[in-house]
């Protein structure tokens, strides 16, 4: 095997099977595109199916319509995936929500929902996947989406900031507890990405778009596939000595001075 072939083999995910929550659009869809291009079989757990068929290589992503807060249903879904494929090799906790409101007025029901989807679900789904991931022949992987908001304060989204900071604790804690169980646990912190959701927000508020561009060290928005590239690295044979860490993909936003 040549050195070029060896490097390519490190990033070949042919035969790997995994779950991504919220992969119907945006960052999750970008991740699914990269991972399926690398040969992985992906199951998208979301309330809606993905709509851009051209984004997914060879039809290697299957939509499973479900509520990621219905943990009994998730137990069944994960078991059926593992039984059908014969194994489960990775979990990406991508689904997340936010709501803009100042802290002193934040509705309690919105707070509870953000806490559940952004923090409780990643823990519960990791627990559900645990018995399958620890048997992976490739080393089981769990990667959760955190955020630059885990490091920086943003006005009007305090529960989002709280939960994304909590993802860092979840990552460290699971990495420590499962270090001897053939599972590596990491997280990825996106910065500003030009998803359809953000595009709509920027259309309504051009000043916010200018402010967002001023945040990163690199004055441009990221592309969803760029989160996918980091995911590919963290699921690949090139990252077998990495666990318990958060990896910013933020254009230098959390390192930006003035």
Q: Which of 228, 178, 230, 226 is nearest to 42 (CA)?
A: 228
**Which entry of 43, 71, 160, 241 is annotated as an active-site residue?**
160
Helices 121-133 + 158-177 axis angle, to 10: 20
Q: Name, in order, each residue with C-beta under 8 angstroms of 104's C-beta and a sequence gap of 6 or more.
A: none
How do 90-93 and 17-21 pair as beta strands? parallel
Active site residue 99: no
Give the Å distances, CA to CA, from 128 to 19, 37, 253. Answer: 12, 27, 34
Q: 89 and 16 in contact (C-beta within 8 Å)?
A: yes
By annotation, the residues acting in catalysis are: 160
């Amino acid at each position: 095997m040549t050195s070029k072939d060896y490097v390519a083999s490190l990033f070949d995910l042919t035969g790997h099977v995994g779950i991504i929550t919220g992969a119907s659009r945006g960052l999750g869809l970008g991740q699914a595109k990269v991972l399926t291009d690398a040969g992985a079989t992906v199951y998208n757990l979301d309330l809606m199916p993905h709509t851009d068929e051209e984004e997914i290589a060879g039809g290697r992503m299957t939509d499973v319509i479900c509520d990621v807060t219905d943990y009994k249903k998730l137990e069944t879904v994960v078991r059926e995936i593992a039984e059908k494929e014969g194994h489960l090799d990775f979990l990406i906790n991508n689904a997340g929500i936010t709501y803009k409101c100042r802290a002193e007025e934040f509705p309690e029901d919105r707070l509870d929902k953000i806490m559940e989807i952004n923090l409780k679900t990643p823990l519960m789904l990791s627990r559900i996947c645990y018995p399958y991931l620890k048997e992976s022949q490739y080393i089981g992987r769990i990667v959760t989406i955190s955020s630059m908001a885990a490091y920086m304060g943003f006005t009007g989204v305090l529960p989002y900031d709280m939960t994304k900071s909590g993802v860092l604790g979840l990552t460290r804690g699971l990495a420590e507890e499962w270090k001897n169980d053939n599972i590596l646990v990491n997280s990825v912190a996106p910065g500003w990405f030009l998803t359809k959701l953000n595009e709509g927000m920027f259309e309504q508020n051009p000043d916010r778009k200018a402010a967002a561009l001023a945040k990163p060290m690199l004055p441009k928005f990221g592309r969803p596939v760029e989160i996918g590239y980091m995911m590919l690295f963290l699921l690949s044979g090139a990252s077998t000595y990495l666990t318990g860490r958060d990896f910013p993909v933020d254009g230098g936003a959390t390192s930006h001075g003035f």
